[in-house]
Structure 1
Amino acid sequence: MNQQQKPVLVLQHLPDDGPAYLATWLAQQRETMDLRDHGDAYPRDLSGHSALAVLGGEMSANDDLPALRRGEALILDAMDRGVPVIGHCLGGQLMARALGARVGASRWPEIGWHRLDWAEQSGDWFGDAAQSDPEIFQWHGEAFELPHGAVWLAGNAACRNQAFAIGPHLAMQFHIELDLAKLKVWTTGHDPARHLRDGMPDAQIQSTVAIHERAAARLAAQQRVAATIYARWLGNRR
């Protein structure tokens, strides 16, 4: 079996934090997805998979949870094998942590649609996003520092490090996998207002109404960016 015929391993940490648009995109490309949640047995290594995607979750990357440590071991195994890894929010934090970088509270939490500053070389991964400066969906209170050898790709005043690449691997602090169904679940089951802090800029935590109003204009554009990113990620398979 060649590398392209092997399934893509996707690690999911919470029932309401599934692959969403990533699953849609993989199906469109006729890629086989092997989805494992925190209660499933994880594979021993990445020898039977062509790529690894790690999703988000409301826990901290530093929490003492066996699934997180198993995920980090698989991230390192994938990198050792040259199997491309992509991390979404918590997934990006686990990538950084596995590589020895610190994960901790970001300057400000971000919930909703937020703009990013893009590195000059970010177009290699994000395509026109680096020029058009879109709003990307965020839901996080922690963030990663850059591991040794990482290339900084994006950030903003609230959270300096929002994306980095190491060779064929990409870590992101934001949620490009979002689709409308997932957004509805998140904004029904979670109240953004509980993340408000004294002294926080008003725009950091957007209301459910504001999030959905912007989604009408932003979600399709973000999914075009996501398609570019995912194509680059799987294009890195050997």
Structure 2
Amino acid sequence: MSFRSLSVGGANLVPFPGRTPGATAAHRDPLPVLIVLHQESSTPGRVGNALRALGHRLDIRRPRFGDPLPDTLDRHAGAVIFGGPMSANDSDDYVRREIDWIEIPLREQRPFLGICLGAQMLAKQLGARVAPHPDALTQIGYYPIRPTAAGHTLCPDWPDQVYHWHREGFELPTGAELLAEGDDFPVQAFRAGHAFGFQFHPDVTYAMMHCWTTRGYDGFGAPGARARHHHFADRAVYDVVERAWLKQFVDGWLACRPVLAQAAE
């Protein structure tokens, strides 16, 4: 199943709607957010923290280990597919099922966020190519991004550099709006209606960074990768802005929910 015929033209590309202060608290039981993770030890990190702070429960699923995905998002406020060491090009059944499943939030126009692998899955669902850098470059550590005019309109105060851990990138899907760009991997953030894809990792907490840089030490020898000590030195410089930007993004992202979904609560 594919959703490549989806119209994601300029009519959908508008700034986040404003959220009335206390609007989330006004709902006695906000809908949960679907969380898709790819390893037994994975967590939703800072994205999960931001969602919980808004009053949302987390419905955590791991399709890789047999968890099903819902047939509709009528009972969810939105969905997030996180990263992992696998590739969106892998032939594993759960990888293909997740890519196909993204058709549901796209068709139902529900808030969807893909982070790193999740963004690559979204790009593939929309018909874009996912591939390694032609010179085998990687991004492991902090790297600069440049928000576009559309990115600034949507959500101001982007960080100058953000955290990455990936060996592949993706093209901008046809009809999608580029929100942030980079050098070696040009597409860093994009929007297609209510769906967003980030090549970078705003979800990574300090504890997660310790874990990744310990277990993933073999990645530091890859072309373009930053040495481990730079990860923590750069975090001290860039993380405060990235954390504040993420909170602002998550709040506006969930405010994109259709009126009918909100009324259902």
Q: Indicate the residue corresponding to 2:175 in structure 1.
A: 149
| 1:215 Cα deviation from its structure 2 partner | 1.5
Report the Cα offset of residue 73 of structure 1.
2.5
2:105 corresponds in structure 1 to 78
Unpaired runs of 5+ in structure 2? Answer: 1-26, 259-265
| TM superposition score normalised by structure 1 | 0.89
What TM-score comes out, normalization by structure 2 length? 0.80
SS of the residue corresponding to residue 49 of structure 1 reads coil
RMSD between aligned residues: 1.8
> Alpha-carbon deviations, 1:82-125, whole Å to 9, x = none?
11111100000000001111110135211111111221110234
The C-alpha deviation readout for 1:165-213, integer Å capped at 9, x for no partner, is: 012211110001111111111011111545424xxxxxx3111111112
1:17 deviation in Å? Answer: 3.5
Amino acid paired to 2:43? G
- Percent of aligned pairs with the same residue? 28
**For 2:129 and 2:221, how far apart are their aligned partners in 1?**
22
- Mapped pair 1:215 → 2:235: yes
Greater relative contact order: 1 or 2 (C-alpha under 8 angstroms, separation 6 or more)?
2
Asked if 2 retains the 8 angstrom alpha-carbon contact of 1:17 and 1:182, the reply is no
Hey, what does 2:207 align to over in structure 1?
181
Match in the other structure for 1:126? 155
Structure 1 unmatched ranges of 5 or more:
198-203
User: Aligned pair 1:33/2:61, yes or no?
Assistant: no
Q: Which moved more, 1:216-225 or 1:25-34?
A: 216-225
Once the two structures are TM-superposed, the CA of residue 74 in structure 1 deviates from its matched residue by 2.4
The farther-off stretch of 113-122 and 14-23 is: 14-23
Distance 1:192 1:221 in 2: 29
Residues 83 and 195 of structure 1: CA distance in aligned 2, closer, same or farther (over 3 Å): farther
Q: Secondary structure at the match of 2:162?
A: strand
1:170 to 196, 213, 218: 196
Partner of 2:32: 7
Q: Letter of the aligned partner of 2:90 in structure 1?
A: D
1:19 Cα offset (Å): 0.7
Q: Are the counterparts in 1 of residues 191 and 197 from structure 2 also a CA contact under 8 Å? A: yes
Which residue of structure 2 aligns with residue 55 of structure 1? Answer: 82
2:4 corresponds to: none
Letter in 2 for 1:217: V
Deviation, 1:134, is 1.5
Q: 1 CA distance for matches of 2:41 and 2:144?
A: 25
Aligned residue pairs, count: 227
Counterparts of 1:197-208 in structure 2, within 5 Å, are: 197=223, 204-208=224-228
* Contact 1:192–1:208, Cα closer than 8 Å, also in 2: no
* More strand by percentage: 1
Q: How far apart are the structure 1 equivalents of 2:69 and 2:254?
A: 21
8 Å CA contact 1:17, 1:55 repeated in 2: no
In the TM superposition, residue 219 of structure 1 has moved relative to its aligned partner by 2.1
User: CA offsets, 1:46-71, max 9 Å, x none?
Assistant: 23212011100111101012222222
Equivalent residue for 1:137?
163
Instruction: Select which of 221, 229, 247 maps to 1:227.
Output: 247
Which piece of structure 1 moves more, 87-96 or 223-232? 223-232
CA distance in 2, matches of 1:53, 1:196: 28
